Amino acid sequence: MTPDHEVRFRSVLDDVAAYKPGKPPERTDGRPTYKLSSNENPYPPLPGVLAAATDAAANMNRYPDMGALDLLEALSERFGVPVSDLALGTGSVAVLYHLLQAACGEGDEVVYAWRSFEAYPIAVQLTGATSVRVPLTDDARHDFKAMEAALTDRTRVVLVCTPNNPTGPVVRRDELLAFLDVVPRNVLVVLDEAYREFIREPETIDGVEVYRDRPNVVVLRTFSKAYGLAGFRIGYAIGHPPVIAAIRKCALPFGVSEVAQAAAVASLRAEKELLERVEALVVERTRVVDELRASGWKVPETHANFVWMPLGEETVAFSEALQAEGVSVRPFPGEGARVTIGEREANDLFLTIACAWRQ
Residue (114 or 345) nearer to ligand PMP, CB: 114
Q: Which of 167, 222, 319, 347 binds ligand PMP (CB under 6 A)?
A: 222
Long-range contact list for 78-83, CB < 8 A, 24+ apart? 78/268, 78/271, 79/208, 79/238, 80/208, 81/208, 81/238
- Tell me the residue type at 344: R
DSSP 56: H
- In the range 100-159, which residues lie near ligand PMP by CB under 6 A? 117
Q: How far is the CB of 93 from ligand PMP (least distance, A)?
A: 3
| Cα-trace Rg, the chain | 20
Q: How far is the CB of 347 from ligand PMP (least distance, A)?
A: 19
Q: 290 exposed, middle or buried (CB, 10 Å; 0-12, 13-18, 19+)?
A: exposed
Q: Which of 72, 101, 141, 192 binds ligand PMP (CB under 6 A)?
A: 192
Q: Which of 235, 239, 326, 331 binds ligand PMP (CB under 6 A)?
A: 235
Strand, helix or coil at 327? Answer: strand
- In the range 77-96, which residues lie near ligand PMP by CB under 6 A? 91-93
CB 247 within 8 A of CB 98: yes
Residue (250 or 355) nearer to ligand PMP, CB: 250
* CA separation for the pair 267, 158 (Å, rounded): 31
Q: Give the bridge partners for 70, in sequence order.
A: none
Residue (198 or 213) nearer to ligand PMP, CB: 198
**267 touches ligand PMP by CB under 6 A:** no
Q: How far is the CB of 123 from ligand PMP (least distance, A)?
A: 10
Residues that bind ligand PMP (CB under 6 A): 39, 91-93, 117, 161, 165, 192, 194, 222, 224, 230, 235
